[in-house]
Amino acid sequence: MEGQIKETLTRTIVKTLCWRVIAIVSTIILAVLLYNDLEKATKLGIIDNIIKLIFHFIFERIWSKILWGFKEVPVVVPVVEPAVELSIEEEEPEDR
């Protein structure tokens, strides 16, 4: 597919890490509410999310190779017409 844009490895890593931070915080909050123990909740949140980080990364890389749902969009370059038409005309020599 000509002109296709693919996600880079760096972008996948950054997206995965950002999402995992959100997931760790939400897991810890839920675990604190369930266990009423911040230390247990923190350990659970970190271990759980390290495992999920690995699976999420693999998931994203697999999906980046699947072309379904992508479409090529042609690049349209607008043509700008000048506001005033400029013309250079040769002056005719004056008769002497």
Domain boundaries along the sequence of the chain: 9-64
Q: Report how far residue 26's alpha carbon sits from residue 6's, in angstroms, rounded to the nearest whole number.
A: 30
pLDDT value at position 93? 64
Confidence of residue 33 (pLDDT cuts 50, 70, 90): very high
Output 2 or 77, whichever has higher pLDDT: 77
Q: 67, 1 in Cβ contact below 8 A? A: yes
pLDDT value at position 36? 94
Instruction: Tell me the average pLDDT across 1-20.
Output: 79
How many C-alpha atoms does 9 have within 13 Å on its Cβ side? Answer: 0
